[in-house]
Amino acid sequence: MQALQNAVSQLVDNEALSVGERLEQICELLRSSITHYDWVGFYFHEDATQTLKLRAFAGEPTDHTTIPFGKGICGQVALSNQNFIVPDVSAQNNYIACSLTVKSEIVIPLFKNGKNIGQIDIDSHTPDPFTEEDVKLLEFVNQKVAEIV
């Protein structure tokens, strides 16, 4: 886990890449390093339209590149400012399905100067895989990313 955190830090600090490229590479790194991460993406708030915009991802392309605040797991986190772990997506009413193979999801808000400005979203094909380890890792990733967005 420490090695992965170090690799994330190095990517965030790599000024040879654009911020968009760094975000994409972080998504790829997380997806390829952790077996239960099947889709990894960063959404950011667009306050004027009260929507989330997908900025970078790794995994299958999704139709859900714009999500209204309040809709789905992601939209709920935009308003609640709280981590949201979903062990079983089929048990959620307010859920936006990307693919039938997705069984679980975790969304961690990304704060800059104390303000919720976006989130990292992970989909998993494994039921109930997320633990406190994932929360710690993803909170670390978001803190680092907040330095460059």
Nearest CA to 123 out of 84, 78, 66, 94 is that of 84
Cα torsion at 69, 75, 79, 81 (round to 10°)?
Answer: -150
Q: Which is nearer to ligand SME, 27 or 137 (CB)?
A: 27
Candidate ranges 7-15, 18-26, 69-77, 133-141; the one touching ligand SME (CB under 6 A): 69-77
Phi-psi region of 72 (alpha: psi -120 to 50; beta: other; left: phi over 0): left
SS3 annotation, 75-98:
HHHHHHCCCEEECCHHHCCCCCCC
Candidate ranges 6-14, 21-29, 91-99, 138-146; the one touching ligand SME (CB under 6 A): 91-99
In the shown chain, the binding pattern of residues 97 to 126 toward ligand SME, with x for contact by CB under 6 A and - for none, equals -x------x---------------x-x---
Q: What minimum distance in Å lies between the beta carbon of 8 and ligand SME?
A: 20
Q: Which residues bind ligand SME (CB under 6 A)?
A: 39, 41, 62, 64, 67, 72-75, 95-96, 98, 105, 121, 123
